[in-house]
């Protein structure tokens, strides 16, 4: 393995309501085959929405990719995948405006994400959520944990051939 593989997701209970609570989750496998699971809440001072949680998951995961290696990032947000695969460039060219002349919501995270995408070799792929893909299902569970206010950082080392016998 010579790449990072990342699955991200966001969750928000009561999305769009005053008592909403959002969280993010990510499952990352590094080039050595070690896995890192991450979960956290969207900070209370920030807007509590599913979209913010989805974006925060990408940013948090990409910021932890410290080795110079290609990254394949999977998201079940078609909007985010499309933005990363073309719309971001158009928004930037128009002064961070979408086709409706409005700034994208959560501009601070879009700009952080854009910077990370420029600094790293990232391929963003959309996948249908809740279809049994293990990484996506785990990222969803982690995001749900984050939405309850909990954080998690769990590293699992890959077993070497000698460790398996």
Active-site positions read: 9-10, 54, 76, 130, 140
Confidence bin at 162 (pLDDT 50/70/90): low
Cα 46 to Cα 27: distance, rounded to the nearest angstrom: 23
pLDDT in tens, 32-69: 999 999 999 999 999 999 999 999 999 999 999 999 99
Mean predicted lDDT score pLDDT of the chain: 94
Confidence bin at 146 (pLDDT 50/70/90): very high
For the beta carbon of residue 157, count every other beta carbon within 10 angstroms: 10
Average pLDDT for residues 127-153, to the nearest whole number? 95
More confident residue, 86 or 144: 144
pLDDT in tens, 96-119: 999 899 999 999 999 999 999 999
For 9-47, b/e burial (b = at least 16 CB within 10 A) is bbbbeebeeeebbbbbbbbbbbbeeebbbbbbbbeeeee
Burial label, 132 (beta-carbon count in 10 A; 0-12, 13-18, 19+)? exposed
| Domains of the chain with CATH codes | 4-155 (3.30.420.10)
Could you tell me how many residues make up the chain?
A: 165
pLDDT of residue 41: 98
Residue tagged 């909403």 (tokens): 20
pLDDT of residue 59: 98
Evaluate if residue 159 carries a pLDDT over 80.
Answer: no
């Amino acid at each position: 393995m010579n790449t990072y593989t990342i699955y991200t997701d966001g969750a928000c209970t009561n999305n769009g309501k005053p008592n909403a609570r959002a969280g993010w989750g990510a499952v990352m496998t590094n080039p050595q085959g070690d896995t890192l699971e991450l979960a956290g809440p969207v900070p209370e001072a920030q807007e509590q929405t599913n979209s913010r949680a989805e974006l925060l998951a990408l940013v948090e995961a990409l910021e932890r990719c410290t080795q110079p290696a290609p990254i394949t990032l999977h998201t079940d947000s078609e909007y985010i995948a499309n933005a990363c695969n073309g719309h971001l460039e158009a928004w930037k060219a128009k002064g961070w405006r979408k086709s409706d002349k409005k700034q994208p919501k959560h501009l601070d995270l879009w700009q952080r994400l854009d910077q990370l995408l420029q600094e790293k070799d990232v391929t963003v792929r959309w996948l249908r959520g809740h279809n049994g893909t293990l990484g996506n299902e785990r990222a969803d569970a982690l995001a749900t944990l984050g939405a309850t206010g909990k954080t998690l950082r769990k590293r699992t080392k890959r077993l070497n051939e000698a460790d398996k016998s």
